[in-house]
Chain A
Amino acid sequence: EVQLVQSGAEVKKPGESLKISCKGSGYSFTSYWIGWVRQMPGKGLEWMGIIYPGDSDTRYSPSFQGQVTISADKSISTAYLQWSSLKASDTAMYYCARHLGGSGSSFPDYWGQGTLVTVSS
């Protein structure tokens, strides 16, 4: 059974750094793209980017390029989403999702449970 288990909720102050995680199991972690999707409070879904853990090839949405870092540690089947300096506008639910398909045409098929990030002074 494919499972993606995300790290727990975080409460941070503006300017702080943060790294949240997503551990995959039940499939070959290095053979599928895995990515992140943001959902701001009461809003829709926004695709942030993906990484291929097999070779760390990473693609970002232009809206998130330079704002976050996506990484993966294939030795422990875990993907990460990282901020160096959080803003209040980063307050959102973040979902990781396994992507099915190739680099140019993959879509989320399995989703993690979400990690709520709250940034407030």
Chain B
Amino acid sequence: EIVLTQSPGTLSLSPGERATLSCRASQSVSSSYLAWYQQKPGQAPRLLIYGASSRATGIPDRFSGSGSGTDFTLTISRLEPEDFAVYYCQQYGSSPRAFGGGTKVEIK
């Protein structure tokens, strides 16, 4: 079973700054089957990135994903006020399709 570790647990940044979120897998994620989700308080998660680097429909291009194997990164180039939320990675190349523990991006 693949375990995903996200870091940091909390990221304190100001609007306009760049956010870099890490997701590390305990084993290689096959075919870069890794997705990123955003969740705001009281809302369902929203798909941002799949296949490690493909943006989902309607996702702004300030969100980008990269990585392969065991190390993956979500980058938000310039934080907008609506980007402050919790972000989760998920691998879907093997069962169970585990999620990481999440990174909270908060306003500094």
* Same assembly: yes
> Taking beta carbons and an 8 Å cutoff, which residues of A are in contact with B?
37, 44-47, 59, 61-63, 95, 100-101, 104-114
Query: Which of B76-108 touch A at CB < 8 Å?
Result: 88, 90, 92-102
Closest to A60 in B: B96
What are the interface flags for B15-40 relative to A under an 8 Å C-beta threshold, 1 for contact and 0 otherwise? 00000000000000011010101010
With A95-B45, A105-B31, A105-B33 in contact, do A62 and B88 touch (Cβ < 8 Å)?
Answer: no
Inter-chain contact A113/B44, CB cutoff 8 Å: yes
On chain A, the residues within 8 Å of B56 by CB distance are: 109
Q: Are B45 and A109 in contact (CB under 8 A)?
A: no
B46 to A: closest C-beta gap in Å? 7
Chain B binding site: helix, strand, loop or mixed by DSSP?
A: loop
B1 proximal to A (CB < 8 A) = yes
Size category of the B interface is: 20 to 34
B99 touches A95 (CB 8 A): no
State the CA gap A117–B100 with chains docked (Å).
23
Q: Which residues of B contact A111 (CB under 8 A)?
A: 44-46
Given contacts A63-B96, A109-B47, A111-B45, 19 further A-B contacts (CB under 8 A): A44-B99, A45-B37, A45-B39, A45-B45, A45-B99, A47-B98, A59-B95, A61-B97, A62-B1, A100-B50, A104-B93, A105-B33, A105-B93, A106-B92, A107-B47, A108-B37, A108-B45, A108-B90, A109-B56
> Is there an interface contact between B101 and A104, defined as CB atoms closer than 8 Å?
no
Q: In the complex, A95 Cα to B43 Cα: how many Å?
A: 10
The answer on a CB contact under 8 Å between B44 and A114 is yes
Determine if A101 and B92 form an interchain contact, defined as CB atoms under 8 angstroms apart. Answer: yes
Residues of A within 8 A of B44 (CB): 95, 111-114
A residues within 8 A CB of B100? Answer: 44
Q: Which of A104, A107, A113 contacts B35 (CB 8 A)?
A: A107
Contact: A44 with B102, CB < 8 Å?
Answer: yes
Question: How far, in angstroms, from A58 to B81 measured CA to CA in the complex?
Answer: 40
* B90 x A107 contact (CB < 8 A): yes
- CB contact under 8 A between A107 and B99, given known A45-B45, A112-B44: no
> Which chain B positions have C-beta within 8 A of A113?
44
